[in-house]
Chains A and B, each alone.
Chain A
Amino acid sequence: MAFDATLETTDHIAKITLSGELDASTAPAFKSKVEEAAKGDVTKLVLLMQDLEFMASAGLRVLIFAKQKMGANVDIYIVSPQETVMDTIEKTGFHHSVIVTDTVPTA
């Protein structure tokens, strides 16, 4: 499945919906959405991952980039990751830096 990333910002919450496979060739598209989100006045970055099927290390790097770009005051939520994606996030320890949840947070 082709990769897709869409951004929607409402009430200081930036939501990026991800689908398909996030690897080195598609990570730049995700990264540019993060940069776009960081330009707004946001308090939460929500990554909707239920349709994301795979994440390679380039994808992980964008998560790290997102955390640093958004700053310490912005919480990052990972919503409904699939098992393989969650596994990657856990093994590399990134789950300590984000909030993993099954419900979309609201303001």
Chain B
Amino acid sequence: MERIDIHPTHESNGFKLRRGQPYPFGATIVPGGVNFSIFSSHATSCTLVLFEKHAPQPMAEIPFPEEFRLGNVYSMVVFDLNYEEIEYGYRMDGPNNFQQGHWFDKSKILMDPYAKIIGGRDVWGVTPNWDDIYQHRARLAFDDFDWEDDRPLEIAPEDQIIYEMHVRSFTRHPSSGVKEKHRGTFAGMRDKIPYLKELGVNAVELMPIYEFDEFENSRPNPQTGEMLYNYWGYSTVGFFSPKAGYAATGKFGMQVDELKALIKELHKNDIEVILDVVFNHTAEGNEMGPTISFRGIDNKTYYMLTPEGYYFNFSGCGNTLNCNNPIVRGIVLDCLRYWAAEYHIDGFRFDLASILGRDPWGAPLANPPLLESLAFDPILAKCKLIAEAWDAGGLYQVGSFPAYGRWGEWNGKYRDGIRKFLKGDTTVGEMAQRLSGSPDLYAWAGRAPATSINFITAHDGFTLMDLVSYDGKHNEANGENNNDGGNDNDSWNCGWEGPTDNPGINALRHRQIKNAVAMLMVSQGVPMILMGDEVGRTKYGNNNTYCHDNGLNWLDWTLLEKNADLFKFFKHCIAFRKAHPVLRNTWHFENRDYVGSGYADITWHGTQAWNANWSAHNLTLAFLLCGKHAKQGREPDNYVYVAMNMHWKAHWFEIPGLPQGMQWHIFANTGANPGEDSWKPGTEPLLENQSGLLIGDRSVAILVGK
């Protein structure tokens, strides 16, 4: 039988209407029409504005009848809309008083914050019509993708190996080998899944893919005239929409399907999808920025404001989203639930997440309601939640981010510690902490090793090749006189600044890269590698390439051949990690034998077995993992011994003995010739001298006892 509530009760401008459902917010396709619902705490009236797709002027404006308002929510069903061919927005009327924080202006057409598709930047890089009265145009999406039996993979956190990447940069370079029409898109990325599979990673972390405006703050480089863009996209226009310009089908408005097809295919290949989400600020920028949505709908609710009405700028990007306001909290939760449920997303990494723990006046909260809500949400219950545990306002929370037993952290201290050790100037005491899952940061709070997202490089900062090729940043191409980007790179150029023909320096650089990934892959916690590091990608010393749509960001696939030795080494190290549960423990080491093997779970060594040298200037360290303690004794494994020599001289390392019947095999030795510096797990050759080995200058060796 037909429902009785699907018939119009009102009419306006020839459109048939009915009182809508306030929930869900946004525009929802319902029998016979579309339900529009939007809220504002301070608006006095609201008008729905309808456009035909791409039309310069609206085709209709329909004021919400006052009797359709419930609380602060305006909702209305409009019947007989050709919903594939329309765009919609709102006009809001209300007070306009800067000091009080109100920016209502009914001359502006506002985008729905819950828009599921946003038009206006349909094809990447096409200069927008700046005279258009409605720049970012809300559209309707179908939620009926054919997922078959797909669902998020729920890989155990400690088993993850994350690949941080940028969708456009991954395949935009002509050398990517994907069809020209697919370059730089979700479809292009899907074509390259076999590469990710071969490398062995089981999670991709996508730099922002929510709709953003690459033309925000776009400008020509004062030196070269080349256009600089908002290329990375850390500035959200719409939290519910995939970036149209990242879809080869964006011009047909089919980005939702294209992205879902990518995710489904990644899942089929056992690769999870983590989104880098930016909830700390929006694309509306500072007081001079454009009015896109939030500012015109409810400025005072959505943004943190000073008593004078200005924007607080904890993000370094002009404004700060008011995340612990209950209304904003609601939209963040709605957003993440939508992506988890509708797009089968496996996890989220929160950009400048410490902002999410500030109260509406900017003070850090001990018990931030937003972080708590996300941690305990039933829909997000199996999603990975990863914090970038600092912000641009000086709050640094690595080790102290409010976690509720759920939140992981980008471990900035891991990055800094490993970098210093690599170049020969940290203490082995700190290294011991970083290699064993940073128990100094997490164990005391009852947080697992997988809390620690271990990384040496990420999109911010040098690539791994640049970390060993440059002492200082070279950001001139960004047009800010080399003033942007961090100065605390902890890098070392190995003897020459930038590219060189010197074979000795190049060999050392390759060895240092291998040392880095070797340490990363034997560390407890979750390793994350930066796109392209596996093939020695360079950004020519630029450590802040946020604005470049060119070779500074695009992955050059010819490197795969040029640096084949690096790729092979990465591949082997990843495979080794996957083969050995002893490297992926669920809980921290106890430094004792709790399974009766005669060995403690971890023991520390130096050039002498059983005798680590913890003195401040020592640059050698080794450790032994007892395989019988793997995953707390649940998954018996081989024994693994790792020796690190960051000294500029070779050292003889005495190796601890194995239980009767086992022998040491050599999996990797970065000091050996390429071709013999790593072995496919399972094919490791027997170590000739079972009592010790010579480890060359600045080299790492990994042995497996079986």
Contacts and interface: CB of A to CB of B under 8 A. Distances in A.
Interface of A: 23-25, 56-58, 60-61, 64, 67-68, 87-88, 90-94, 96-97
Nearest to A23: B84
B85 A57 contact: no
A24 B84 contact: yes
Contact of A64 (B146, B249, B252, B262): B146
A57 B82 contact: no
A56 B146 contact: no
11 contacts: A24-B83, A24-B85, A56-B84, A57-B257, A61-B144, A87-B248, A91-B182, A91-B248, A91-B249, A93-B257, A97-B146
B115 to A, nearest CB: 16
A92 B142 contact: no
A91 B254 contact: yes
B648 interface: no
A93 B260 CA distance: 9
B446 to A, nearest CB: 42
Contact of B181 (A24, A57, A64, A87): A87
Given A56-B84, A92-B249, A93-B264, 5 more contacts: A64-B146, A67-B146, A87-B181, A91-B249, A96-B265
A22 B326 CA distance: 44
Nearest to B82: A24
B146 A91 contact: no
Interface in B236-271: 247-249, 252-254, 257-258, 260-262, 264-265
A60 B144 CA distance: 11
10 tightest A-B CB contacts, nearest first: A93-B261, A24-B84, A92-B257, A91-B187, A64-B146, A91-B248, A57-B254, A91-B249, A92-B261, A91-B258
Given A57-B142, A61-B144, A88 B264 contact: no
Majority DSSP secondary structure for residues of A touching B: helix
A91 B144 CA distance: 17
B190 interface: yes
Contacts of B181: 87
B594 interface: no
B361 interface: no
B15 interface: no
* Number of chain B interface residues as a range: 20 to 34
A88 B146 contact: no
Interface in B156-179: none
A92 B82 contact: no
Contacts of B84: 23-24, 56-58
A25 B81 CA distance: 11
A56 B144 contact: no
B187 A90 contact: yes
A79 B82 CA distance: 30
A34 to B, nearest CB: 14
Contacts of A25: 82
Given A91-B187, A93-B190, A93-B261, A61 B254 contact: no
Given A67-B146, A87-B181, A97-B146, A92 B85 contact: no
From B144, B182, B257, name the one whose CB has the most chain A CB atoms within 10 angstroms: B257
B145 interface: yes
Contact of B257 (A23, A60, A97): A60
Contacts of B253: 56-57
B144 A93 contact: no
B77 to A, nearest CB: 19
Contacts of A60: 254, 257
Nearest to A60: B257
Contacts of A23: 84
A87 B252 CA distance: 12
Interface string B303-322: 00000000000000000000
Contacts of A90: 187
A99 to B, nearest CB: 16
A89 B85 CA distance: 20
Nearest to A64: B146
A68 B145 CA distance: 11
A68 B148 CA distance: 9
A60 B190 CA distance: 19
Given A23-B84, A24-B85, A92 B144 contact: no
A57 B145 contact: no
